[in-house]
Amino acid sequence: MPALCTIRHQLSSKVKYDQLIKAGKPPKVALTAIMRKLVVVANALLRDGRMWFEKRT
């Protein structure tokens, strides 16, 4: 579900998903690539001790 939301609301993920589909990848494969991208970003944020979103006050 997070990958689907990312494709709908984050332009860079939408572009990457569309590129994969245009290259002939099945939708499930393209979605899995976006899921992997999210996991890689989340692991990097945890490693660096950063937050996904900046706190707004």
Residue 51: which pLDDT band, with cuts at 50, 70 and 90? confident
Q: What is the dihedral sign for C-alpha 22, 24, 28, 30? A: negative
Residue 17: burial class (beta carbons within 10 Å; 0-12, 13-18, 19+): buried
Residue 49 lies inside a defined structural domain of this protein: no
How many other C-beta atoms lie within 10 A of the C-beta of residue 6? 20
Kindly report the pTM of this predicted structure. Answer: 0.80
Position 31 in a domain: yes
Number of structural domains, the chain? 1
| pLDDT reported for residue 25 | 97
Domain presence at residue 39:
yes
Percent pLDDT > 90 in the chain is 77
Q: Residue 4 is part of which domain span? A: 1-8+18-43
